[in-house]
Structure 1
């Protein structure tokens, strides 16, 4: 396991138990983001880096009982917290690395990733792996329940021009990985970039 992976596991592992308590008001933001993706009954969707599974319930509501919802995370403690919250009823939880997914190529209709980009060790390569598991025309939603400026202020830092989530950086990054960005929202209440898997 790389140093980056070890760091991610340690960071989230020590915070998993109280994660949902730290951000108790994020539920509606997750639900609104998922509702805007145009998912259909029966769709197959991955929550990449699912953490405590806050997106699983709205994803299940969007794809219905005939759909498939899979949550993948690298940190066992996060998945354990998802189970304690009962979110394993809404999707299958898998301990795995989003940089090397145990999924067939083209097997999904959509990928949802909350707070994901900042934790990818090799973003260009890792976004290509997400493209691999999605059918042509499928979607990728990169979400955060708080915008870039508000998040930076919360963390006591400034946004830098190098921020991968800045539109001028994210659009070509996605394009190089096989995704065409179709919408980009960065406001205090949420960050949501949506892209379509190109042929």
Structure 2
């Protein structure tokens, strides 16, 4: 495992037990973002970097019992927290690195990724790997329950021009990784960029 992966795992392992209690009001924001994915009954969706699985329940509701929901995360403690919260009933929990997913190419209709982009060691390669597992025309949602400015304020930092999530930076990054950005919202109460897999 690379140093980048180890750092990410250590960061989230230390926070897994109380993650949900630290952000108890995020549920509606997750549900709204999932709704914007436009999933249909029977679709197959990957929650990449699923953490404690807060998106799994609205994802399951969107695709119904015939759909497939997979939550993949690098941190065992996060997956344990998801299972303890009962979210493993809504989707298969998979210990996996998003830079090398043990999933078939073009096997999903959509990818949901909450808070993932800031933790990707090689964003272009990692987004290309997410594109690999999605069918052409499939959708990617890069989500955070608060916008960039609000998140920076919470973390005691400033937004810099090289922020990956700034619209021009993210658009270029997605375009170079097999995606076409179709919408972008960055408000205090939500960050959501949607993209469609090209090809």
TM bin (shorter chain) = over 0.9
| Map of 1:142 onto structure 2 | 142
Cα RMSD between the aligned structures? 0.4
Gaps of 5+ in 1: none
Give 1:55 deviation, angstroms: 0.2
Q: Is the counterpart of residue 103 in structure 1 residue 103 in structure 2?
A: yes
Inter-partner Cα distance in structure 2 for 1:180 and 1:96: 25
Once the two structures are superposed, residues 23-73 of structure 1 have per-residue CA deviations (whole angstroms, 9 ceiling, x without a partner) of 000000000000111100000000000000000000000000000000000
- Distance in 1 of aligned mates of 2:36 and 2:191: 13
User: 2:184 matched to 1:187?
Assistant: no
Partner of 1:13: 13
Q: What TM-score do you get using the length of structure 1 for normalisation?
A: 1.00
Q: Secondary structure at the match of 1:69?
A: strand
Q: Following TM superposition, by how much is the alpha carbon of 1:167 offset from its aligned partner in structure 2, in angstroms?
A: 0.3
Q: Deviation string for 1:95-115 (max 9, x for gaps)?
A: 010110000000000000000
Q: Residue 36 of structure 2 corresponds to which residue in structure 1?
A: 36
Matching of residues 1-150 of structure 1 within 5 Å: 1-150=1-150
SS in 2 for 1:79: helix
List structure 1 runs of 4+ shifted beyond 2 angstroms.
Answer: none
Gaps of 5+ in 2: none
Counterpart Cα distance in 2 of 1:38 and 1:97: 26
Question: 2: CA distance between counterparts of 1:56 and 1:105?
Answer: 21
- Aligned residue for 1:17, secondary structure, equals coil
Q: Report the TM-score when normalising by structure 2.
A: 1.00
